[in-house]
A and B are shown apart, each in its own frame.
Chain A
Amino acid sequence: MKISNIKSIVTSLLVLSCMAISTSFTAFATDKAEINTVATLRDHTEITTQQEPNRIHKVINKDIKQGRNYPMQPPIIPHTIRSYEVNKNNNKCMSCHSRHRTEKSQAPMVSVTHYMDRDGNFLADVSPRRYFCNQCHVTQLDAEPLVENTFIDMNSLMKSKTANTDQH
């Protein structure tokens, strides 16, 4: 009597645990499916086939300053930088944007933060940690965004908020 009781308890526990595991598996699968709704560049191409490469878009070369989406955004580069060398030997960007070249080139000078080391001391020249321009500054392509951007600028947020409070 007792033994059969224990047996039934054990089997019911096993069944329950199995059910729990299977439900968690299905939950995980749905999560994954939701995450993967954003298509990669390869999209649904079979692993054995090669996708037709997309057209390479042109770099915007208008030399017109673009707005910044937030105050700390590194300004984007409004011109082509094809074959600009930035390496141990030289930095092509700095041949226009360095302090002693801006008068000739009329290009904006790199901001003073680029001359500071991480402790805030000013150096004579661009700090090594800020030397590689393309780590932060990039050109823009003449292309439609692949994913819709829902970013809202801080000013627009504040404006809508004050508009709302005015109404009440």
Chain B
Amino acid sequence: MKNILLIGWRTLTKPSAYYSLGFLVIGGFIAGIIFWGGFNTALEVTNTEEFCISCHEMENNVYEELKTTIHFSNRSGVRATCPDCHVPHKWTDKIARKMQASKEVWGTIFGTINTREKFLDHRKRLAQNEWTRLKANDSLECRNCHNFDYMDFTEQSERAAYQHSTALAAGEKTCIDCHKGIAHQLPDMKDVEGW
């Protein structure tokens, strides 16, 4: 074992005996493009709704609930898909979230929430994960589409305009503080602030 590692290390540290520097540089560059392209494509595939709902836990629970909400069907036909709200758009944050999501793969393999009852038992904890995440990043995923600077208060209802022009404008509150359960059903809201 030690010998194999040693041979490997020597190969890496010694100059190449047969391949030209040009071949190695250009070859490495092309291989790099293929690797990076492949990595990114794979990442993008996992960032689609089809991928999310390929697990029945997602399709039969949260996706069914989303279908009835305004984020699925509305007058202008703009639709939010799973990753629009649940995966950050910035690359480093996205990778961090994807690493956390490996827990979800574990969950689907071992059937942590493979029935509706189990899902409902875990719903509060799962919802709280998302609320904490959105609270921490100032509802970044909401703001990817809903930009405060371009909100027309005159088009909003009086109550909405009041809350947005005061609490939200002052930064005291963020979207998720009030807009909980807008795309999925709510868990038991006892002891949740504002309920």
Contact = CB atoms under 8 A, between A and B. Distances in A.
Partners in one complex: yes
A85 B157 contact: no
B70 A85 contact: no
Contact of B70 (A82, A94, A104): A82
Interface residues of B, number: 15
B179 to A, nearest CB: 11
A5 interface: no
A79 B157 contact: yes
Contact residues on A (Cβ < 8 Å of other chain), bracket: 10 to 19
Interface stretch (B55-63, B79-87, B95-103, B180-188): B180-188
A91 to B, nearest CB: 8
Interface string B175-195: 000000110011111000011
Contacts of A88: 188
Given A63-B157, A95-B195, A85 B68 contact: no
A83 B157 contact: no
Interface string A84-99: 0100111010110000
Nearest to A84: B181
Contacts of B189: 89-90, 95
B152 interface: no
A140 to B, nearest CB: 15
A85 B182 contact: no
B158 A90 contact: no
Interface string B155-182: 0011100000000000000000000011
Contact of A83 (B68, B188, B194): B68
Contacts of A90: 181, 186, 188-189, 195
A23 interface: no
B194 A63 contact: no
A89 B187 contact: yes
Given A63-B158, A90-B188, A85 B181 contact: yes
Given A63-B158, A89-B187, A89-B188, A83 B70 contact: yes
A-B CB proximity, top 7 nearest? A90-B189, A89-B188, A95-B195, A63-B158, A90-B186, A61-B157, A85-B186
